[in-house]
Amino acid sequence: MSELTGKKALILAANLFEESELLYPLHRLREEGAEVTVASPQGAKVTGKNGYGPMGVEAAIEDASANDYDVLVIPGGFAPDRLRAHDATLELVRAFDTAGKPIGFICHAGWVPISAGIIKGRRATSVSVIKDDMVNAGTDWVDEEAVVDGNLVSARTPADLGPWLKALISTVRAA
Amino acid sequence: MSELTGKKALILAANLFEESELLYPLHRLREEGAEVTVASPQGAKVTGKNGYGPMGVEAAIEDASANDYDVLVIPGGFAPDRLRAHDATLELVRAFDTAGKPIGFICHAGWVPISAGIIKGRRATSVSVIKDDMVNAGTDWVDEEAVVDGNLVSARTPADLGPWLKALISTVRAA
Amino acid sequence: MSELTGKKALILAANLFEESELLYPLHRLREEGAEVTVASPQGAKVTGKNGYGPMGVEAAIEDASANDYDVLVIPGGFAPDRLRAHDATLELVRAFDTAGKPIGFICHAGWVPISAGIIKGRRATSVSVIKDDMVNAGTDWVDEEAVVDGNLVSARTPADLGPWLKALISTVRAA
Amino acid sequence: MSELTGKKALILAANLFEESELLYPLHRLREEGAEVTVASPQGAKVTGKNGYGPMGVEAAIEDASANDYDVLVIPGGFAPDRLRAHDATLELVRAFDTAGKPIGFICHAGWVPISAGIIKGRRATSVSVIKDDMVNAGTDWVDEEAVVDGNLVSARTPADLGPWLKALISTVRAA
Amino acid sequence: MSELTGKKALILAANLFEESELLYPLHRLREEGAEVTVASPQGAKVTGKNGYGPMGVEAAIEDASANDYDVLVIPGGFAPDRLRAHDATLELVRAFDTAGKPIGFICHAGWVPISAGIIKGRRATSVSVIKDDMVNAGTDWVDEEAVVDGNLVSARTPADLGPWLKALISTVRAA
Amino acid sequence: MSELTGKKALILAANLFEESELLYPLHRLREEGAEVTVASPQGAKVTGKNGYGPMGVEAAIEDASANDYDVLVIPGGFAPDRLRAHDATLELVRAFDTAGKPIGFICHAGWVPISAGIIKGRRATSVSVIKDDMVNAGTDWVDEEAVVDGNLVSARTPADLGPWLKALISTVRAA
């Protein structure tokens, strides 16, 4: 019933995050028994792109280590634009990927793996508006509701939240 | 895997709804295959108590019938204050209850079953601040993360979202 | 002309207060010569339910004593939901009532005397949406523009502000 | 007790009005039995300078006639900057003055009688920041909490609301 | 003195535009005598990323033709994310480029020429955060305050507004 | 090309400033090579009247000296109402004027030279709504897009930004 008991998840937040893409995995992973931490640059409060907030977070991305978590989740909105400009975030993403730990990203969050340099040759999806950026970065881009390629679990929009979390939970269990 | 395929859910919204208490069941029930409709008084757009919105909805509560749905969900925030003053909402709640169909409510949403007159003698929970109103209305109030009494499935706060949805999904499956 | 010269009034505020229900008694009691203090939990700034603010206050409710004031005023909106969850507020309300000092409340503010446990068997009114909570708490609820029962002076909505203040001023003078 | 029964008052509103300077006379004059109408240019909804609103009004200034009212009230904030640029407002102010009907204005509202051309040689006050404009327009400016010169009743800031309304009510009764 | 008399400029706007990157070219090109039109998808009002607005525009992008203008300007912010998903915008950008007419873009606006497919092999700059997207799309990306490559005139951030406009004005004059 | 190299400009800001009237001279003077500083009372962040901000500034007006700058710029909106009530601003304006240094003001900013006492007998313009205040203060008011009278350079509204800056730049160069 609780498939992720004992697992730890880290969700990355920044201003202009897409609310449902953060709130859904937050509570969904908790429902499965995972311990979930939300982190932002400097641990600052964040406000969503539809006005939700300011929302406090539990940690600063600068202080987070891939060693301490079993899965990384990157919600969309315009927060990924801030996160891809943030060196500590990019290093963290590379560390998760190097360790083969699951990374979930959705919508505009594809910008982060692009700038982290981990997406080339990988199968993934994104919101259609950044398909050009994904393809130009060498992604094997497909138009599916949830795409798993090894440790990468991607989805397109909030309409894919259910399939995305199912795939993400399975991937974490199997990791 | 998809436990609610073929089921239809109705979520009630009004201004100042608690965002996570609406967004989570919306996507969680969809993840299980349910068809979910969000309705508000007059079908008007709604804005959450933390600033999320304006969010469009699919239906007007005035046009909704308990015959067309398998489960009713009432998120908290201050939206329940508007909903309990709305006759069509109260009639709808009574119709779900009379039919023995599952009704999920959380946090401040307990005000709605109070004003619908269906909570007397029933076991339920709520956010602690309205415990007095619940108890005075005759509720057998308990301090648990998810409380099921027949078709009524209640919870306290967003921290209970996971247990609440697990209980609600089970109740709908068993109905 | 100045009926309350030498009298001291305390108005309770919290976020989402109804603006006219705070601003009107504030200036009306001052017009009669009273010294008026606005207090909130921790003395924090407050913003009204229609967007007014942030408004500074003069005192923290935690620091207020019924001994120092002649009358307590509780405006409506959703601020009473915060106040009824605030122990220092409930103790203060009980202290005013025990001392027989006038307490004015309007609209949703009836929730506060409910949770303070002072409304049972008393004659009072409120906004219609919380009538159920008032009645269930044992209030002798009536639908009148201003209701005086000993030291309790209640009213329904902003449309009753005039009659409410007339009754409140008379009650303070007679106290 | 009700000193203005049968009297009709008109309050002028525009965006960025000072909330307490509109809400206080609105309810204060009603307390005395007056029938009060709030009007704005084109009858549009208005929002106050501290964020209150949008607030609906009952009438358009363009449709108002001095013949239909016993007193005109002009709140402050930055609304007077809009009103003094509005010809229908200036004509209305002149009509009230020509008829010798009471005009109350407070704070920044002094800009309106300046542009209506009725303030020269009259005794009045205002918020200190526009004293230069008042004096340059020929006002006999004094620093008092409420100033009555015939039908003109002026005050400085929200701290003067009580004395201002007392003076205004007396002036209307005597008119 | 007026270097662009008789010239017509079109500025593209969408929600979350960077205010200074729209307002500066708007007034700067007008200062040089150009006739400037601001257009948005469907001609809808737009609000900037720092809260400016809602601002009305003069035209719908869908109705605009490259034949009617001498220069196209694309401000940054997150508006370019909306614009690159808008087919009429992409067609318009390609039409300006095919005609060899000047196109100015700044900051995040580089996303639009990427999705219009006109940036490959061209020399240009952008805000550093989207450098990866620019380079992956085949841009000859350089870190300079204003970059001219034929009809393309690009800049990095609001700090480059002066050099960008100087370069843009020169390019339009020379076209 | 860069007409103001080596020159220093000071722009005065306060809450409710008109955004284009601050952002345009800020970047326009920089385009010409000037070093531009924005200052506000106490160096506090400011928000524009159309919602732009909060915007940080570089200096406190209280710390600024006319000796350190070659030109003073006062944008409009309702910020001038705050500035004219701020003694340090008025002293600064008088110091620039006494030194014969250029002062640019636009729209509602005319209120500041009125309260600084420097406008009597000078030729200038303003937004039409404050024409009465300008004329009553002894201004030789004219309805032109940019008006130069010695060191004073005034304009009416954002539509005059181009001519205003041309005139201001010429005046600074000639000073």
Reported as a single tens digit per residue, the pLDDT across D56-84 is: 999 999 999 999 999 999 999 999 999 99
Cα(E96)–Cα(E67) distance, integer angstroms: 8
Distances in Å between the Cα of C44 and the Cα atoms of A119, B51, C20, C57, E122 are 48, 20, 20, 7, 56
Whether residue F77 contacts residue F17, with contact meaning beta carbons closer than 8 Å, is answered with yes
pLDDT at D2: 84
Q: CB atoms < 10 A from the CB of F138, how many?
A: 14
Q: Which residue of C has its CA nearest to D24?
A: C24
Contacts of B52 in chain A (CB under 8 A): 19, 48, 50-52
Put simply, the answer to whether F27 touches E163 (Cβ < 8 Å) is no
Q: What is the ipTM of this complex?
A: 0.96
List the one residue out of B138, B143, B115 whose CA is nearest residue B127. B143
Taking any CB pair shorter than 8 Å as contact, residues of chain C touching chain B are 16, 78, 81, 84-85, 108, 111, 114-115, 128-129, 132-133, 136-138
Reported as a single tens digit per residue, the pLDDT across B25-50 is: 999 999 999 999 999 999 999 999 99
Mean of pLDDT over chain C? 97
pLDDT at D35 over 70: yes
Rg (CA), chain B: 14
Put simply, the answer to whether E114 touches A137 (Cβ < 8 Å) is no
Reported as a single tens digit per residue, the pLDDT across F106-121 is: 999 999 999 999 999 9
Q: Which of A84, A86, A108, A156 is catalytic?
A: A108
Whether residue D136 contacts residue D119, with contact meaning beta carbons closer than 8 Å, is answered with no
Cα(D9)–Cα(C173) distance, integer angstroms: 29
Mean of pLDDT over chain E? 97
Amino acid type, B46: V
Reported as a single tens digit per residue, the pLDDT across E6-20 is: 999 999 999 999 999
Cα(C159)–Cα(D10) distance, integer angstroms: 17
Peptide bond into F54 cis (omega under 30): yes
Put simply, the answer to whether D31 touches C162 (Cβ < 8 Å) is yes
pLDDT at B17 over 80: yes
What is the bridge-based pairing of β-strands C147-149 and C152-155?
A: antiparallel
The closest CB to that of C133, out of B78, B128, B133, belongs to B133
Phi, psi of D73 (to 5 degrees): -125, 130
Q: Both tokens of residue A16?
A: 């202009």
Distances in Å between the Cα of D121 and the Cα atoms of C78, D48, D138 are 49, 31, 6
Cα(D47)–Cα(D43) distance, integer angstroms: 13
Reported as a single tens digit per residue, the pLDDT across D125-148 is: 999 999 999 999 999 999 999 999
Cα(C12)–Cα(C167) distance, integer angstroms: 19
Report the SS3 class of residue C17. strand
Chains that touch D (3 or more CB pairs under 8 A): C, F
Separation in Å, CA of D42 to nearest CA in chain C: 22
Reported as a single tens digit per residue, the pLDDT across F46-105 is: 999 999 999 999 999 999 999 999 999 999 999 999 999 999 999 999 999 999 999 999
Reported as a single tens digit per residue, the pLDDT across B121-155 is: 999 999 999 999 999 999 999 999 999 999 999 99
Residues, chain D, total? Answer: 175
List the one residue out of F161, F164, F169, F166 whose CA is nearest residue F18. F161
Average confidence (pLDDT) over E53-79: 98
Which of E129, E134, E139, E141 should we substitute to test contact with A (largest number of A Cβ atoms within 10 Å)?
Answer: E129
Lowest-confidence region among A85-94, B116-125, D1-10: D1-10
pLDDT at B39: 98
Report the SS3 class of residue C36. strand
Q: Both tokens of residue E142?
A: 């350089």
Q: Tokens 């601001």 map to which residue?
A: E38
Reported as a single tens digit per residue, the pLDDT across E33-64 is: 999 999 999 999 999 999 999 999 999 999 99
**Residue E34 exposure: Cα atoms within 13 Å on the Cβ side:** 29
pLDDT at E2: 84
Beta bridge partners of F154: F105, F147
Cα(B168)–Cα(B4) distance, integer angstroms: 11
pLDDT at D1: 53
Distances in Å between the Cα of A134 and the Cα atoms of A114, A124, B4, D171, E118 are 7, 9, 35, 74, 17
Reported as a single tens digit per residue, the pLDDT across B59-102 is: 999 999 999 999 999 999 999 999 999 999 999 999 999 999 99
Beta bridge partners of E55: E46
Contacts of D162 in chain C (CB under 8 A): 27-28, 30-32
**Residue A36 exposure: Cα atoms within 13 Å on the Cβ side:** 24
Cα(A107)–Cα(A97) distance, integer angstroms: 19
List the one residue out of D130, D142, D144, D50 whose CA is nearest residue F85. D130
CA A16, A21, A26, A27 dihedral sign is: positive
Contacts of F138 in chain D (CB under 8 A): 136
Q: What is the pLDDT along chain C (175 residues), one digit of tens a residue?
A: 589 999 999 999 999 999 999 999 999 999 999 999 999 999 999 999 999 999 999 999 999 999 999 999 999 999 999 999 999 999 999 999 999 999 999 999 999 999 999 999 999 999 999 999 999 999 999 999 999 999 999 999 999 999 999 999 999 999 8
Whether residue B49 contacts residue B78, with contact meaning beta carbons closer than 8 Å, is answered with yes
List the one residue out of B57, B140, B75 whose CA is nearest residue B111. B75
Cα(B100)–Cα(F122) distance, integer angstroms: 83
List the one residue out of A124, A112, A126, A123 whose CA is nearest residue A160. A126
pLDDT at B1 over 70: no
Contacts of E115 in chain A (CB under 8 A): 129, 132
Distances in Å between the Cα of B37 and the Cα atoms of A17, A18, B26, B27 are 24, 21, 8, 11
Cα(F9)–Cα(E3) distance, integer angstroms: 25
Phi, psi of D119 (to 5 degrees): -95, -15
pLDDT at E53: 97
Cα(C117)–Cα(C134) distance, integer angstroms: 11
Alpha helices in chain A (DSSP H): 19-31, 79-83, 87-98, 111-116, 131-136, 161-174
Taking any CB pair shorter than 8 Å as contact, residues of chain E touching chain A are 16, 78, 81, 84-85, 108, 111, 114-115, 128-129, 132-133, 136-138
Residues, chain C, total? Answer: 175
Reported as a single tens digit per residue, the pLDDT across C71-97 is: 999 999 999 999 999 999 999 999 999
Q: Both tokens of residue C57?
A: 């206050």
Average confidence (pLDDT) over E129-155: 98
Whether residue D149 contacts residue D123, with contact meaning beta carbons closer than 8 Å, is answered with yes
Cα(D41)–Cα(D60) distance, integer angstroms: 6
Which of the four CATH numbers 3.40.640.10, 1.10.150.120, 3.40.50.1370, 3.40.50.880 does domain E8-162+167-174 have? 3.40.50.880
> For the domain F8-174, what is the CATH code?
3.40.50.880
Distances in Å between the Cα of D100 and the Cα atoms of C59, D34, D174 are 45, 19, 12
pLDDT at F2: 84
F37 CA to centre of own chain: 12
The closest CB to that of E52, out of F19, F162, F163, belongs to F19
Whether residue A37 contacts residue A59, with contact meaning beta carbons closer than 8 Å, is answered with yes
Helix orientation angle between B161-174 and B19-31, rounded to the nearest 10 degrees: 40
Percentage of chain F with pLDDT > 70?
99
Burial of D144 per CB tally in 10 Å (0-12, 13-18, 19+): middle
Residue B92 falls in which region: left (phi positive, over 0), alpha (psi -120 to 50) or beta: alpha
DSSP state of D148: E
List the one residue out of B29, B41, B37 whose CA is nearest residue B2. B29
Contacts of B20 in chain A (CB under 8 A): 23, 27
